[in-house]
Structure 1
Amino acid sequence: MSEKLQKVLANVGLGSRREIEKWIEHGRVSVNGTVVTLGARVEATDQIRVDGRIINLNKRKSVCRVLMYNKPEGEMCTRKDPEGRPTVFDRLPRIKDGRWVAIGRLDINTSGLLLFTNDGELANRLMHPRHEVEREYAVRVFGDVKEQDIRKLTQGIKLEDGMAQFKQVKRRATVTQQGSDEDSLNQWFDVVLTEGRNREVRRMWESLDYKVSRLIRVRYGKLPLKKRLPQGAWVELPLEEINYLRETVQLPKETETVLDEKKAQLDHVRLSRMRRSVKKHKLVQQGVKKTPKTRQGRS
């Protein structure tokens, strides 16, 4: 039985369906010697090439893996940036088969929880709006936010690409601190939404004339950002949390893991090693040391 080409390639871990669709549009994929267009379907016996390289569809599917990364501000959610800016892929561990696929994106000025997987189908389903996976953000807003505007944000705001709304908006308790007048005008909110359109959180606040001065993703589905995980560091998720994500989007459970959970604990020794690695990587990016890019680890 034939299947969509982008689904077949995602299933062998080459990337997300969206990423592969772009490859097809750019003429990088051929089937049986003919460059194909979007919408092509393939059989198990077809020969598929990407950039001239034959793709083995019969190889054993890799064990599903998921990383949680604490993204700092200033990093791009792309594999390579033409301006040479750092990307979220720079510090991820190398894998033998397939590649890491980002589950959604965070813009350059947003920090916090970002997930990666080597399973393109899992990434595609988690990003699809029909599954309504919750994303929670901590938002610092400049200005005196009125209760009537909070109601508008939960009832629905019309943006240029359609209606958008927060599932929940919760004002954080204000802590009085000494500081500038500008600091006193900042308020923190926790907001929840179930889709991931480009800059959606910022655009919703901006539509009501509020400026977002800080934005941090703190939860994806039921998975909170790991406590004490340094910015710029990653941790591999255990089988239980991977299967939570798979069950959320109606994929069968994974039965194997490459993770040694005892070694994966965020204890003092591992956290210290992470912080040193992140600091060293920043120095390399700034050109302080002429050494290859460092990585937190390989696997």
Structure 2
Amino acid sequence: MRLDKLLANMGYGSRKDVKGLLKKKHVSVNDLVVRDGSMHIEPSTDVVKVKDEVVEYKKYIYLMMNKPAGYISATEDTREKTVIDLLSPEMQHFQPFPVGRLDKDTEGLLLLTNDGNLAHQLLSPKKDVYKTYYAKVEGNVTEEDVKEFTNGVTLDDGYVTKPAILEVIQRGSISEVKVQITEGKFHQVKRMFIAVGKKVSYLKRIRMGELELDSSLTPGNYRELNEKELSYCQSLT
């Protein structure tokens, strides 16, 4: 890999910015100052430093975001704000994409990565990775609703969902529930409640398999997966 490409990919600015760092002798490879950005290096073995700080090369990034309402799960859009807009330029350099999607008005756990294989495995129906949501629902959620979810709900298009787990946290005119599903049909949770005569007024994804939303992440914030979380995701591939 070219040295200037590596530095640009690692967030040290544009090729022009990197050229400036090289010209000012701020870059070294294996403790030797380098001014030629076209130099080819091996990221796994060569030690690259910028201003005496080691550049840790990453090919892939894995981010956990607490998606806020008002953003769409896409890489770009001419009319809407996307979750990529919430990332720093350093992270955008990796060209990550959301793993699956959350509706514009849905909040919560969203993974972003540039690792296509891992994303494919997480979304594969064969893996049955369950997704858990917290929801506020207009209307009193009954035991009959719980049974219907357990048996599979018939949606408006005639599709019968796979069995889902519906846990009632609080009943009332506005019920609070947790829903666990293994599918990801369009607006699925909302449509399941419509099928039993209820309406979802708030929806937040809190878990994907063993991956739980970090409670310290406020809406719009994100962090890289820790070693345990990444190991879980990679175990699915």
Normalising by structure 1, we get a TM-score of 0.56
Map 1:1-299 → 2, pairs under 5 A: 63-83=59-79, 85-93=80-88, 94-95=90-91, 98-159=94-155, 160=157, 162-173=159-170, 185-247=173-235, 249=236, 251=237
Structure with higher Rg: it is 2
Structure 2 Cα separation of the partners of residues 166 and 89 of structure 1: 33
CA–CA distance in structure 2, aligned partners of residues 245 and 64 of structure 1: 13
Aligned to 1:285: none
Show structure 2 runs of 5+ residues with no match.
1-42, 45-56
Aligned residue pairs: how many?
A: 181
Q: TM-score, normalised by structure 2?
A: 0.70
Where 2:133 maps in the other structure, the secondary structure is: strand
Report the CA distance between 1:96 and its aligned residue. 8.2
CA contact (8 A) 1:142 1:212 kept: yes
Distance in 2 (alpha carbons) for counterparts of 1:161 and 1:74: 30
Amino acid aligned to 2:82: T
How has the CA–CA distance of structure 1 residues 82 and 95 changed in structure 2, closer, same or farther, with 3 Å as cutoff? closer
Instruction: In structure 1, give the amino acid aligned to 2:132.
Output: E
| One-letter amino acid of the structure 2 residue matched with residue 86 of structure 1 | K
Other structure's SS at 1:217 match:
strand
Q: In structure 2, what residue type is equivalent to 1:88?
A: V
Cα pair 2:74 2:97 within 8 Å, conserved: no
Percent identity between matched residues is 33
- Tell me, in whole angstroms, the C-alpha distance in 1 between the residues paired with 2:145 and 2:116: 39
Unaligned runs of 5+ in 1: 1-58, 175-183, 252-299
Tell me if structure 2 keeps the 8 A contact 1:166–1:192: no
- Cα distance in 1, alignment partners of residues 95 and 76 from structure 2: 14
In 1: Cα distance, 2:91 partner to 2:216 partner = 25
CA RMSD of superposed structures (Å): 2.2
Separation in 1, partners of 2:105, 2:219: 14
- State the Cα distance separating 1:98 from its structure 2 match: 4.7
SS class of match (1:164): coil
